[in-house]
């Protein structure tokens, strides 16, 4: 083994989780910290929630860094990530998790809402990963990229054309990047949750939603985080370009 490889493999492993302040992203931060990673937590506006997420990472004995930026803003995202990589080195892994929805029947969707959903959910794939990929490759220690898509991206859903389009687009992007990065030992996979108990689905008729699910209950953020944890593990080193559903049996 070359001296360089020794140094690289011994370096502390840092991961970035976008939208890590609440919901699924927060559970992912906590889980990856428990797995031994230092975590950079991106959030948009809720700093108090981000601080709580950071405290959970630190309680697991790992370092947390807070990064406030809007993943839909290419310039702001690029600048924040370039500064972080310059200061702390390349990430070992990235979880592209931040996402929004703006549901409406197709004939009533406002153009601004369509654009906001596509920019936040789909354009963020480019905005976040494009500046991070070359540093990951140059670090020569492999890596993990996990993209949070959705059952809606696989099956479609009434009232969710913009959301489903963004999530289906992510699957295509991830499959393509997986093929580009495979020889660098960097895997790229998607996780597709069904209905998970977070603020994103607040206001929805939870009981009637649960009736639609074969397991008769909503999922928990920790159940999604467990799959991300597996995809980050050494045992998942040969899985890439895959989409794993976490949805209680919905088709
Ligand atoms: P929440 O609404 O609970 O949390 C969203 C997170 O994303 C927050 O941390 C929020 O930050 C952050 N965020 C939102 N917009 C931006 C932005 N423009 N830039 C940076 N960060 C942003 O969502 P969930 O945890 O439920 O969802 C997480 C992911 O899982 C999303 O991609 C969602 O589409 C997907 N998903 C969720 C399902 C569910 O049932 N909950 C089902 C299928 C997929 P802040 O705190 O600052 O607002």
Question: What number of other Cβ atoms are within 10 A of residue 210's Cβ?
Answer: 14
Closest ligand 1 atom to 200 CA: 2
Q: What is the pLDDT of residues 152-189, one digit of tens each?
A: 999 999 999 999 999 999 999 999 999 999 999 999 99
Partners of 65 in the beta sheet? 40
Q: CATH number of the domain at 14-246, please?
A: 3.40.50.720
The token pair that represents 154 in the structure block: 């696989």
For residues 247 and 245, what is the distance between their CA atoms, to the nearest angstrom? 6
What SS3 class is residue 153? Answer: helix
Q: What is the pLDDT of residues 215-240, one digit of tens each?
A: 999 999 999 999 999 999 999 999 99
Residue indicated by tokens 């999604």 = 224
Confirm if 105 and 155 have CB atoms less than 8 A apart. Answer: no
Q: What is the pLDDT of residues 37-83, one digit of tens each?
A: 999 999 999 999 999 999 999 999 999 999 999 999 999 999 999 99
Give the pLDDT mean for 28-41.
Answer: 98
Domain residues of the chain, as ranges? Answer: 14-246
Confirm if 197 and 151 have CB atoms less than 8 A apart. Answer: no
Residue ranges lining ligand 1, Cβ < 6 Å = 18-19, 21-25, 42-46, 49, 70-72, 97-100, 120, 148, 150, 193, 195-196, 198-201
> Is position 126 annotated as part of the catalytic site?
no
Model confidence, pTM: 0.96
């Amino acid at each position: 083994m070359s001296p360089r490889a020794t140094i690289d493999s011994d370096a502390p492993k840092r991961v970035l989780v976008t939208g890590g302040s609440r919901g699924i992203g927060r559970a992912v931060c906590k889980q990856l910290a428990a797995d031994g990673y230092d975590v950079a937590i991106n959030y948009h506006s809720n700093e108090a929630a981000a601080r709580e997420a950071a405290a959970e990472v630190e309680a697991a004995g790992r370092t947390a860094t807070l990064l406030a930026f809007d993943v839909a803003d290419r310039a702001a995202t690029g600048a924040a990530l370039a500064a972080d990589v310059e200061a702390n080195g390349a990430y070992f892994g990235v979880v592209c998790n931040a996402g929004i929805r703006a549901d409406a029947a197709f004939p009533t969707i406002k153009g601004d809402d369509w654009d906001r959903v596509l920019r936040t959910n789909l354009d963020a794939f480019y905005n976040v990963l494009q500046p991070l990929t070359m540093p990951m490759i140059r670090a020569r220690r492999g890596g993990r990229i996990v993209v949070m898509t959705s059952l809606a991206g696989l099956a479609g859903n009434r009232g969710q054309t913009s959301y489903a389009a963004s999530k289906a687009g992510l699957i295509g992007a991830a499959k393509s990047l997986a093929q580009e990065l495979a020889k660098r030992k960097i895997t790229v996979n998607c996780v597709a949750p069904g209905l998970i108990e977070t603020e994103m689905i607040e206001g929805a008729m939870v009981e009637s939603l649960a009736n639609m699910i074969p397991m008769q209950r909503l999922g928990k953020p920790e159940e999604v985080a467990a799959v991300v944890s597996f995809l980050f593990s050494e045992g998942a080193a040969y899985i890439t370009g895959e989409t794993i559903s976490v949805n209680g049996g919905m088709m």
